[in-house]
Structure 1
Amino acid sequence: MFTTLIHKLQNDTYITLETTPGHSPQFAPTIDKIEALGLENLVDAFSTTDNPLAKLKYNALFAAKMLQERFNKPVIATMSMRDRNKIALQSDLLGANEVDVRAILALTGDPATRSDQPHSKGVFEADSSLLLEIISAFNSGMNYAGKPFVHKPKEIYPFAVINSYAKNPKTLQKKMQKKIKNGALGIITQPVYGLENAKLLLELIENAKKECCSENKSAELILGLFPITKLRTAQFLSAHVPGINVPDIWIEKLRVANTRSPEEEYKVGFELSKNLFDDLKQLHPKLHLMTANQFQLAHDILV
């Protein structure tokens, strides 16, 4: 399952769809919506988010196990450094390993100050590089302290994330180099909103691989896409989400459409997003689609 996914990532087309477990003790209804639209037939894998924005949600590892069991497709489970120390990270990896949740997206995590849980504190023993190092140790048959396991864990497949935009692109390249050096097989970008942005990121990762260590030249960039169908979404992403650049032309087109009708606003946003998806797929067919569980929108983008 996972070897096929990594082969597709490195040699073929590759499309993953993000799912966000809800504030609920049940994840099955989300899976039912995915199945009703046949989305499992349109993607190579899914991902599950880990308490995004520090808001309490259903556990990403359990959600990943349920998705894998329903669709027999690999799932990339996010693990955030915000909520776990070294002991908890390794314990979760051990439990996930036995039930074949073995593709892990290492994330530093949003600040705990944004949480909906009063007085929550972030752990943040380190950034996501620590989790990549732990995974490397597990793949060598030992824990992070260097103690061998009685039974070597099954191979874990590490993924990482990167901003899609920076005023100084060299900062992105250095971050890519660090993630590649720490073993990331796939580096997923924040949403991209233009071909030139995507081309720059592809150039940066090639430079990063040339300047980095020789043992992980197969690391691949995965372009993130978050469809925008509302003006306020475009304005929020542009003004409040670091590492994302929404072009002025998108905002202007959505602004004009917004003055006409909600239907026109959606139509214009969908066309912009769908055209971008198709263009990115032609440029670099390694894509990660994020729709905040708007699965009909995901379906319409993918078909």
Structure 2
Amino acid sequence: MFEQFIEKLQDPKKSYITLETTPKHDANFIPVIDTIEKLGIADKVDGFSTTDNPLAKLKFNSIIAAMLLQQRFKKPVLATMSMRDRNKIALQSDLLGANNIDVRTILALTGDPAKISDQPAAKGVFESDSTMLLDIIKCFNAGIDFAGREFNIKPRPIYPFAVSNAFAKNPKTLLKKFTKKLEHGAIGIITQPVFDKENAQMLLELFEEAKHLSNANKGTLIIGLFPITRLKTAQFLASHVPGIHVPKRWLDILYTANQKGESEEEKRGLELSQKIYEEIKELHPKIHLMTANRFKLAKQLLDE
């Protein structure tokens, strides 16, 4: 399962699509899985991801959610692990447990600040950034823990992924981050959402330079896509989320559609989203689709 998944990721000629799932503030993840199955989405993607308490808000555990998804659909799931909530002891303990239940594609994330949490007086751990988790995975793949102690029963291979901004005023900032994460062993780097082809082309060029600088020949860039069907969503992303660039053209089209009514707004937003999805598939068919659990919207794109 994992070998074929990684092979598709690394083959430039093959399509590779993963779908993000966000566990809810519930004690049961099965209803999310049931929705995906009912819509027939699993047949249209190569794998999934599970988020890890995004925005520092309490959600169902990402590793257990990944296990449940894998068991249902027999496809790899990128289980996100945040540095915000774990020190190096907890990170390694969780990795060992995940390995035993065959959750072995790990998305390393530094994590949103704890100060925005919905839990009173929550404090972030942040012993390091996500590169420490990448280094821990390197150690595990060598059969040792982060302190250099050998495991009697060695972990099965773990496949590390990382994330990146999709836009920066100074592109060298992105180049530096790409290079750093590749040097620490990431085999796939997922970008924040991209909304125009030129942005994607810039990222691909920077990534190729980063591969050269880091000597990471097998690293692959995965373009993040987030379909937008509402002006307020586009405006929020443009104004409040660093590392994302929403083109003025999108905002203008959605504003005009908004004046004509909700159905027109949704129609134009879906058209824009379908267009960038098709453009990215043609340019670089390595895509991570994020819909905030709006799986019907994901199905609309994937059905095209």
TM-score category (smaller protein): over 0.9
1:211 CA displacement = 1.2
* Match in the other structure for 2:155: 153
CA distance in 1, matches of 2:194, 2:276: 9
1:174-216 CA-to-partner distances (Å, cap 9, x unmatched) read 100000000101000000010000000000010011111x3x3
Matched, 1:277 2:277: yes
Which amino acid is the alignment partner of residue 240 of structure 1? H
- Counterpart selection for 1:66 from 62, 65, 68: 68
- Counterpart selection for 1:208 from 204, 207, 210: 210
* Match in the other structure for 1:95: 97
CA distance in 2, matches of 1:261, 1:237: 21
Percentage of pairs with the same residue: 62
CA distance in 2, matches of 1:265, 1:90: 46
* Match in the other structure for 1:286: 286
CA distance in 2, matches of 1:84, 1:4: 31
Which amino acid is the alignment partner of residue 221 of structure 1? L
Which amino acid is the alignment partner of residue 97 of structure 1? N
* Match in the other structure for 1:104: 106
Which amino acid is the alignment partner of residue 71 of structure 1? F
Which amino acid is the alignment partner of residue 249 of structure 1? R
1:222-279 CA-to-partner distances (Å, cap 9, x unmatched) read 0000001000000000000000000000001000100110000000000000110011
* Match in the other structure for 1:232: 232
Which amino acid is the alignment partner of residue 42 of structure 2? E
Matched, 1:184 2:186: yes
1:45 CA displacement = 0.2
Which amino acid is the alignment partner of residue 127 of structure 2? E
CA distance in 2, matches of 1:170, 1:218: 21
* Match in the other structure for 1:115: 117
* Match in the other structure for 1:250: 250
CA distance in 2, matches of 1:249, 1:55: 33
1:151 CA displacement = 1.0
* Match in the other structure for 2:300: 300
- Counterpart selection for 1:129 from 128, 131, 136: 131
Which amino acid is the alignment partner of residue 44 of structure 1? D
CA distance in 1, matches of 2:118, 2:128: 23
Q: Provide the secondary structure at the position in 2 that maps to 1:161.
A: strand
CA distance in 2, matches of 1:112, 1:161: 19
CA distance in 2, matches of 1:184, 1:75: 16
TM-score, normalisation: structure 1: 0.99
Q: How does 1:42-57 map to 2 (within 5 A)?
A: 42-57=44-59
Which amino acid is the alignment partner of residue 228 of structure 1? I
1:168 CA displacement = 0.4
1:64 CA displacement = 0.2
1:139 CA displacement = 0.3
Which amino acid is the alignment partner of residue 121 of structure 1? K
Q: Provide the secondary structure at the position in 2 that maps to 1:16.
A: strand
Can you give the 5+ residue segments of structure 2 that lack an aligned partner in the other structure? none
Q: Provide the secondary structure at the position in 1 that maps to 2:106.
A: strand
* Match in the other structure for 2:34: 32
CA distance in 2, matches of 1:211, 1:104: 24
TM-score, normalisation: structure 2: 0.99
* Match in the other structure for 1:81: 83
Matched, 1:262 2:251: no
Q: Provide the secondary structure at the position in 2 that maps to 1:18.
A: strand
1:4 CA displacement = 0.6
CA distance in 1, matches of 2:120, 2:278: 43
- Counterpart selection for 1:139 from 126, 132, 141: 141
* Match in the other structure for 1:174: 176
The root-mean-square deviation of aligned C-alpha atoms, in Å, is 0.5
CA distance in 2, matches of 1:146, 1:6: 27
CA distance in 1, matches of 2:68, 2:211: 35
